A and B are shown apart, each in its own frame.
Chain A
């Protein structure tokens, strides 16, 4: 079993690594061999959407997932997550040439069809609505945590935003790993995505307290 990175962040401002984060690490560990052979020896552009504390991207860098020929462009809307990402990476001696975090919404500012490997632990908790993005000057600390958690209707509003443009986000031959809870009805998501030509596979699932979490892989 690969070791969990050390991490550091202010949990008043940045989502604290929890069961979902650790499930994602396990899923990536399980996929390590597949990813290594799948992306062969080409350069792989890796984007973790909503990197938060930075634990997942750091884990990938640390363990050469998918390979040593990768560049990592993690994104988050939360300014504090950018700081934690860099801090967590350096705590684990992973501040190498390959890491360059970008503050943006999902993959909004990354050129289309450039991401080879995407990882997303979305705000998946069902809620009445998705919180508004706070204006920079008015943001209160808790606002960023709400954005990291609350996913609106079925907890799927943000995840659908990404999935609906997956064709434009992913490079040809790209692979995306997305985390769901049972209340997101991932089996329905998988069906809809298959009508759009996306194959999927359940890579990892686990009961975590009262939640059942799963990680699905989407590919063409």
Chain B
């Protein structure tokens, strides 16, 4: 799954909906195998819209889980009319992180209930076993 997808995934357990710890999930950095998809073109227009939409603290949290602590603490602001060269460097880095980074295999758990979910073949499986569903 894309790194970006982690910004939309919460724990599936119903009781965890009452907790604030059901999102983002905690990714096990040691178990996560990452790949860069080089076929995906850098599209600043698209990326600006994504950055506008994402929950930045969740981006920081998952990036840190996966060993990247170099992101700015606050969501970068690109509200000015023209993008500077510096802006483009930041955007390109975020393109690499959010869009190109694919978690091929891995596991993540809920911060509230501890349930572990797996990623196999790039597909996250958040289906609960029958006794939890």
* Chain A residues within CB distance 8 Å of chain B: 41-43, 45, 68-69, 71, 73, 77, 79, 82, 86, 96-97, 100-105, 108-112, 114, 132-133, 135-136
Contact = CB atoms under 8 A, between A and B. Distances in A.
Contact of B52 (A43, A45, A105, A135): A43
B9 A103 contact: no
Given A43-B49, A96-B40, A135 B126 contact: no
Nearest to B22: A111
Interface residues of B, number: 33
Contacts of A43: 46, 49-50, 52-53
Contact of B10 (A68, A100, A110): A110
B46 A69 contact: yes
Interface in B86-133: 99-100, 122-130, 133
Contacts of B17: 112
Contacts of B130: 132-133, 135
Main secondary structure of the interface of A (DSSP, over half): loop
B12 interface: yes
Given A41-B49, A43-B50, A97 B99 contact: yes
Contacts of B46: 43, 68-69, 97
